[in-house]
Structure 1
């Protein structure tokens, strides 16, 4: 209930406004009337005293007291109810004459301290008014003297005026106003009473009826005849009571029905519980199958990677120039990063379940991030994008955390930035937020100038298998899983990822990560002493690239002068002697760069060029133009430091092959078992450099046969193989063979937790994970055969015969691209191109069959997919593009009619490649 009832509100809202308005009006009119009366009395007194002052001038000037007294006495008698006393004072402020006796005659006298009144003065008191008027000698024939042409002040006349009549009128008017207000209030009370009787009483009755209905007496109704809103309210309450009564009856019926349904539902729930129990067991079996699938998938993915990484390392041991060595190192890094991505995908279920554990190892932070940027730089350079890595000098280099997960985060974000940016720049910026004790908080951001993302699309970015819109997948590819993994990894590192973007305005992904400072900085030390003694001038129009080098110079205490435009360059290069660094972004136009190099050489300066390209031909042109070193952007701090102190990093220098180093072998006999030919070939090559004898098998059954015939010092056993798996083969060898005590090492690509412990419990002695690392293999051999004898030999590699150099470029065939894809191995490039030509017959038959509807789209996709791989490695860019378009369209839509023009174009392009092949064969011959 409210504090005041409806009746009280009616009285208050009726009486209070009337009372307030009445008091306000009465006060206004009373005050106004009093002011008018006061003004009237003053005006009346002034009208009396001023003529009296003029009339008193003759008598006062002649000092005729009788005449003046007679004058003021007559005036006093005529206005005796209003005038209490009149007095005349001379110019010395002395009483001259008075009309009657006054007990306090000094009230009429002017203040002796002040000059005599020069004009009529009025002094107002609560019950009287004192008026004073000057008497001037102005009449003709006056005996008074004039001063400077002005009449002389003879004195003044003072009069006391009564306010009794005015006060009486004021009291009368105030009383009348009060009675009017009271009368208005009385009328308001009568109206309020009548209103209360006609409105509040019916409402009170209705409230009582509603209360009875609330208590359950649904037969209660409102009686009486009402009009207007009260009538509507009456009918509404009665209708509500009737509806409640009907609903109450229906509710009882519904309760009875619901009770019956509940009994049936409980019986169904009991049945469902039994079914859920069965489903739970099936789900557990499904989870087990999922784990087995992940294990198998891990094995199948790691097996080819093992060959890629291993043979890349083997190839590094041969005689290579520095470019070839860089390419192989890039291949190895790419394969290792792909292996890391596979691990992350396999760990996605762990991320969802919250079971992922981050490693805490010491690593070099700058080198870790540099590896990611260097790996992805060629993709940015192909699109002519300016890619920069800007690390705050305050960021410590030695940190403790999980470098593999950190690289995965940067790989995903930087890869997306390159994918969705067509022009402009990409900047990776890392700064120190806070360092307290061992705790280090870093902020990293990846900023691009790409297509941007709208606010509506941003909400979908961090959802699994979701992208901004469906067109993104069609145009750029991708699964939509990268940002989800990135977000969860950042959260596991104690931070959160944020996105700021607008359409066509680029995007900024930023995140915080929590790491620990390491006790030592890993990685080769930089020649800081030599760097601090350098004198360097840098010309770089691109501000971010300039900031990168400036930050490194600050960190190295390297004296650096900078120029960003032609005027600054000309003013600084004139008197400069030292090392000049020239940054150049547009690798397609080298003439401005060559001019700068010439100007620097004229000043006897050594020139280092930073070019936004990793093309060795462009680097060679720059070196031939006079530059001492040419480095690719984004800037690698170690290569820049080496170039500044003039360490040997010449682009075309021949690398000493690793195979020429003297090496001691162990006198051991080892059996290697693997079903994959590439893996078996790789592990065999590694073992031949470490031990004296190596035997190989392709499945577990062959391994058992070998173990029964020969005794081995060590057995390397693959786990998943056809015919007979590695575990079964190991158990057979342990039961009955010549190698019951021989150490058996499990070689597997499985990545699931607990794999090693499970294998050790099934008979194997140790565990070697794919891809196989040569140092790990060597340590494992020494661990299990510590007393093996050494056989020293000199392993010298024969010089490689340089193949004939071929230069062939065609719109349909780029031999330079084919050589790049084959790691500059001309023999391999030729083999790959021959294999592509051999596949022309198969793909042409497939095109004819799909156009004649003799095969379906799925069968044709398999043929196109095989053909597409050959195109990618043979320098046929147009063929690769067409097959990619056809395959992607058929996989998405399955409609052959949509790609019929591309199929005909593919046939024409094959003919063009055949013609180009004839021209290439002429050069080869």
Structure 2
């Protein structure tokens, strides 16, 4: 915006012109002009007064003018000078005013901006004030809520503290430095110190030194690995009493996820521990009782069955043959009832195992029928065995267990049938090229079972109430064991019945079709030098007669010491070794024989009435096989053929084993081939890879557990390794792990360290052979 300026005064303009023209020139002109004005004025005045002018008038005028002119000139000059200075000063003032005006404009603009900013800030402050008031309102509400929550938290904290103090469990917590930071009343009672006295103390200042080291070690594990641990500790209370506590320790963290220390919870399990020990002792006593009674019962039973079987092979009258057959069938019946009792104990200890072998259904049925016919003939009943074709010629099954299941069903059928017949009907339905669902149907025309009882008959010790057949009763465990055995075989058992008309039991089992030839049941080796170690005269008589009838040469030792001495003096092909001897047990005898290298070319077969142990347990104790009493001719032939049929008749000469035999001792090639055929190379390779990734951790845990002398942990971990190795066909690793898991072995602690070392070596070596084998299968394909 432009400002209109006022015109300058005339004096200023005149001074500017004089200044531009020059002061000297202007002064001369002024003097001249003044002189002329004076002359002219004097002349005109004189004319006006006298009508004439004198020269003196002019001279006086000139004189006066010349006299006043310098002063006028000086005044005029000074005036001009002052006016010029005033003009310059005025110019400076104008410039100053212009600058001030510009600054004023800028200041005005700034002021306007500041006013706007101030208005904006005022508006913001109003909004902020409103927000502040809102915040204060919310804060007041939050403070009120927080106060209420703090009151509630205080109440909950008090309640929680009351609960913790009222808890029968031992509770304490410690900080990162290992010092006690709090506890409950049980901990106070145990330590004999109040919570305030405990705070700041370490375990070494509270517990006995040995216990303190153990506590600190587990605490260190919790804090170092950020994991929870569980351990059992015997703690001594302030009153001197010791109690067993199951301690659970966990790390605990604050709201910012920063670890604050650890919490420990201890439950008094002294009574439970005592109960477990009592149960374990009772179980051990029961097992020992059954083992003892098995030996005591099997001994006379061996004589009854063995001698009656041998009598049946002699010339007898029909009446005598019937009597002997009844004795033989009764002995078999007693043996099967006793097997039920043994299997009941095994089921209690989870030691019932299956031993699959190649079985001919036709021969199996014929053998079973021959014994059942003795029972049915004795009661005047008919027996019928029907095999419905098509049936697989050979199957893979545990013949002993299958025979026991069917025997129980057939024996019950005969027992509860007064007239009519008992039948066994076998049929099969093919599932795939490798498996058939084989059905065994046992029917009778007996008294039948009421519908209300059908759902209960498989319960342990349950017996159907049949008042009119009180004589036909039993132990009540046969069907229960049958059901569990069928379940172990992945099958199912069912029953249907009509009172007064009869009962039918149906057992369906998925059985593998065997592609291997059945073992020849005829003895293929004779002339063996056999040492029979047995202390019961009756058993010696039966076994010796049977062996000599099979054309073998038999020497007898009645004690373990006698057997060792005879083995030192003569080389035997086979030692049949009873386990219970008067001076030492069979395992100790076998151990001595192995230590003295007396049986490098001799097989040792356990001959025992103690069927509590599994076959594998005998193998793990230096035996090559086991034959249970009463001795069966078929079992002797089976074992002798397995041990000697493939050996040359000439004197023994060491020969290098074929490579495949060595690999067969390390890997379960049959299982592996079956897995490859069933699930394919890729899945087998994946399974082996998973085992390879996990086995180092398994072995590390096993070694740590052994170092800590935790027997149960060692056995449990060995069981885990055994299962894992078995699933990928590592037979030797599985066998060693099975040795380690048998914690009830009498020399377990003496041997377990060697077994674990052997397991480490076998796992490393055999796993590589397994990987090579799988890779070779890929190449072959």
**Greater share of residues in helix:** 2
TM-score range, shorter chain: 0.3 to 0.5
Query: Normalising to structure 1: TM-score of the pair?
Result: 0.36
Q: Which has the higher contact order (CA 8 A, sep 6+)?
A: 1
Structure of larger gyration radius: 2
